[in-house]
């Protein structure tokens, strides 16, 4: 047996050793297994070798790999296959039979407002009515600890499935990881989780951002400031940044990152107070003063666009005569025209998210990601480029 083991590649030996430890209970479901580096040190191999062993364990369903955090033990031998979906369906049926048979779907989201979120909730609630189900809403206000507690609370309540709009942050929380490991039926909106087999419904943010950027290019703008909260591994923002850069590359225009502001904080649900708003307005004012060649602003969110609009007003700059402004989403504004924006199909995202959860409960396979187009709506905040002198 020793000779047989020695003849195997090291990555296979490491795979088998870890598999046995998991089967013997040395690592319980949800426990972190040694990292690539730790395995490399233990077995005297390169990280490439230990990485291959971990990839084999993930492929066989023994672990779930979470970028930036490590690898964690899944239910032994479970993978996201048709068999996995059958298991999910059985879980859903067991919960649904607890009383009336009507399905109860939990919704955990950061917050919602006129610009973004209300349309999502409307679409989900409408879908729940059509299916004779019920939707329960709790907000996390963008705080990871709140999000974890709300997910736990939904599970204790006995919901059949969940829809989650995760808080922005460097990593998604441990409770979401547990849902993946336990094959609990849930769908993400507005985010996708890198490296995890979780279904998501999102706007095609990259294509949308490129569409908006090209609109500015067509108006003659070449010096466009990009305004955003910190990306923090938030996929929606990352995709918008990628689309903005992609449009520049395809048009042969340099994307000048010195003109970007990537630390707008007051629009985050956990920092939405007047003192932070004032700081951000002053920050944008100072930035525009420092870079007088900027002729257009691309804001990743409507509330960021409002900060930019206020900053321009205080500097005596007219929109769109002196500065063009574009953003994602722009609600009806009493007495004012909407900003030029990329309109997300929020109601459809919400409707699909609810339907996808019920499809999981029925044991149907789902695509890992569904992307919906964002529509360019031209308002009165964009116009021909004008060179600023001050």
What are the pLDDT digits (tens) for 154-178? 999 899 999 999 886 555 677 888 8
> 142 pLDDT band (50/70/90 cuts)?
confident
Q: Which of 189-193, 199-203, 245-249 has the lowest mean pLDDT?
A: 189-193
Q: Residue 178 has what DSSP assignment?
A: H
**In this structure, are 169 and 54 located in the same domain?**
no
**In this structure, are 52 and 143 located in the same domain?**
no
**In this structure, are 213 and 338 located in the same domain?**
yes
C-beta atoms surrounding 222 within 10 Å = 15
Q: Residue 73 has what DSSP assignment?
A: E
Looking at residue 40, which CATH number applies to its domain? 1.10.10.10
Q: What SS3 state is found at 303? A: helix
DSSP for 180-212, please give it: HHTT--EEEES---TTS--EEEEE-HHHHHHHH
Which domain range does residue 106 map to? 82-202+346-372
- The CA-atom distances, in angstroms, between 235 and each of 66, 145, 307, 372 are 15, 20, 23, 15
Q: Which two tokens stand for residue 266?
A: 């007051």
Looking at residue 252, which CATH number applies to its domain? 3.40.50.2300
In a domain, 383, yes or no: no
**In this structure, are 68 and 45 located in the same domain?**
yes
Write the pLDDT tens digit of every residue in 336-363: 778 999 999 999 999 999 999 999 998 8
The Cα–Cα gap between 386 and 384 comes to: 6
In this prediction, residue 345 carries a pLDDT of 95
> 3 pLDDT band (50/70/90 cuts)?
very low
Segment 106-126 mean pLDDT:
91
Segment 42-68 mean pLDDT:
83
Beta-strand pair 161-164/186-189: parallel
Top-confidence residue, 333 or 156: 156
In a domain, 305, yes or no: yes
**In this structure, are 52 and 181 located in the same domain?**
no
> 195 pLDDT band (50/70/90 cuts)?
low
Residue of 162, 155, 113 lying closest to 134 (CA atoms): 162
In this prediction, residue 91 carries a pLDDT of 43
Please give the tally of structural domains in the chain. Answer: 3
C-beta atoms surrounding 78 within 10 Å = 18
Strand order of the β-sheet with 369-372 is: 134-139, 104-109, 161-164, 186-189, 199-203, 369-372
Write the pLDDT tens digit of every residue in 296-324: 999 999 999 999 999 999 999 999 999 99
Write the pLDDT tens digit of every residue in 274-285: 899 999 999 999
Contact by Cβ (8 Å): 225, 213: no
The Cα–Cα gap between 244 and 209 comes to: 5
In this prediction, residue 97 carries a pLDDT of 42
The Cα–Cα gap between 220 and 226 comes to: 16
Q: How big is the CA angle at 351 (ends 345 and 352), to the nearest 5 degrees?
A: 90
The Cα–Cα gap between 356 and 383 comes to: 41
Residue 133 has pLDDT above 90, yes or no: yes
- The CA-atom distances, in angstroms, between 350 and each of 93, 140, 253 are 23, 18, 36
Segment 43-54 mean pLDDT:
87
**In this structure, are 210 and 153 located in the same domain?**
no
In a domain, 377, yes or no: no
Torsion over CA of 372, 378, 384 and 386, rounded to 10 degrees?
-80
> 233 pLDDT band (50/70/90 cuts)?
low
In a domain, 386, yes or no: no
In a domain, 389, yes or no: no
> 58 pLDDT band (50/70/90 cuts)?
confident
Segment 288-292 mean pLDDT:
96
**In this structure, are 197 and 226 located in the same domain?**
no
**In this structure, are 104 and 149 located in the same domain?**
yes
In a domain, 177, yes or no: yes
**In this structure, are 165 and 219 located in the same domain?**
no
C-beta atoms surrounding 187 within 10 Å = 24
In this prediction, residue 183 carries a pLDDT of 84
Region of 248 (left: φ > 0; alpha: ψ -120 to 50; beta: rest) is alpha
In this prediction, residue 76 carries a pLDDT of 52
In this prediction, residue 129 carries a pLDDT of 94
In a domain, 385, yes or no: no
**In this structure, are 216 and 339 located in the same domain?**
yes
Top-confidence residue, 382 or 145: 382
The Cα–Cα gap between 170 and 217 comes to: 32
| Average confidence score pLDDT of the chain | 86
In this prediction, residue 389 carries a pLDDT of 57
The Cα–Cα gap between 92 and 21 comes to: 31
Segment 2-19 mean pLDDT:
76
Segment 216-239 mean pLDDT:
90
Contact by Cβ (8 Å): 270, 232: no
Q: Which two tokens stand for residue 274?
A: 């007047």
Segment 86-112 mean pLDDT:
64
In this prediction, residue 385 carries a pLDDT of 92
**In this structure, are 276 and 327 located in the same domain?**
yes
For residue 124, give the H/E element and its range. Answer: helix 118-130
In a domain, 390, yes or no: no
The Cα–Cα gap between 225 and 327 comes to: 12
For residue 11, give the H/E element and its range. Answer: helix 10-23
Torsion over CA of 314, 317, 320 and 321, rounded to 10 degrees?
160
% of residues, the chain, pLDDT over 90: 56
Residue 384 has pLDDT above 50, yes or no: yes
The Cα–Cα gap between 280 and 263 comes to: 9
In this prediction, residue 94 carries a pLDDT of 43
**In this structure, are 335 and 219 located in the same domain?**
yes
Top-confidence residue, 270 or 81: 270
Query: Up-side HSE of residue 48: CA atoms within 13 Å toward CB?
Result: 1
In this prediction, residue 87 carries a pLDDT of 40
Q: Residue 333 has what DSSP assignment?
A: B
């Amino acid at each position: 047996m020793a000779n047989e083991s020695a003849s195997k590649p090291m990555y296979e030996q490491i795979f088998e050793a870890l598999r046995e430890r998991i089967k013997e209970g040395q690592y319980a479901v949800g426990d972190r297994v040694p990292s690539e580096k730790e395995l490399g040190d233990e077995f005297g191999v390169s990280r490439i070798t230990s990485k291959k062993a971990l990839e084999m364990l993930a492929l066989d369903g023994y672990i779930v790999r979470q970028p930036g955090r490590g690898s964690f033990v899944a239910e032994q031998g479970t993978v996201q296959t048709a068999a996995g979906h059958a298991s999910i369906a059985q879980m859903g049926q067991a919960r649904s039979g607890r009383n009336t048979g009507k399905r109860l779907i939990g919704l955990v989201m950061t917050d919602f407002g006129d610009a973004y979120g209300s349309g999502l909730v409307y679409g989900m609630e409408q879908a729940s009515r059509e299916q004779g189900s019920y939707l329960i809403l709790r907000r996390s206000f963008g705080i990871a600890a709140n999000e974890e507690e709300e997910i736990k609370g939904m599970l204790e309540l006995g919901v059949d499935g969940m829809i989650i709009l995760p808080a922005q942050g460097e990593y998604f929380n441990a409770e979401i990881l547990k849902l993946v490991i336990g094959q609990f039926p849930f769908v993400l909106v507005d985010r996708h989780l890198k490296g995890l087999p979780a279904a998501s419904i999102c706007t095609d943010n990259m294509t949308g951002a490129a569409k908006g950027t090209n609109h500015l290019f067509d108006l003659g703008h070449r010096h466009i400031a990009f305004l955003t909260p910190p990306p923090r591994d938030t996929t929606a923002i990352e995709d918008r940044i990628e689309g903005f850069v992609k449009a520049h590359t395809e048009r042969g225009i340099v994307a000048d990152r010195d003109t970007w502001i990537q630390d707008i904080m007051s629009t985050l649900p956990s920092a939405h107070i007047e003192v932070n708003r004032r700081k951000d307005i002053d920050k944008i004012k100072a930035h525009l003063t420092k870079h007088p060649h900027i002729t257009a602003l691309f804001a990743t969110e409507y509330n960021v666009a409002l900060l930019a609009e206020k900053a321009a007003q205080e500097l005596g700059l007219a929109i769109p005569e002196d500065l063009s402004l574009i953003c994602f989403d722009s609600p009806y504004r009493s007495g004012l025209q909407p900003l030029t924006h990329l309109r997300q199909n929020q109601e459809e995202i919400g409707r699909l998210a609810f339907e996808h959860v019920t499809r999981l409960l029925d044991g149907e396979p789902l695509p890992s990601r569904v992307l919906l187009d964002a529509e360019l709506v031209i308002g009165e905040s964009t116009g021909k480029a004008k060179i600023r002198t001050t």
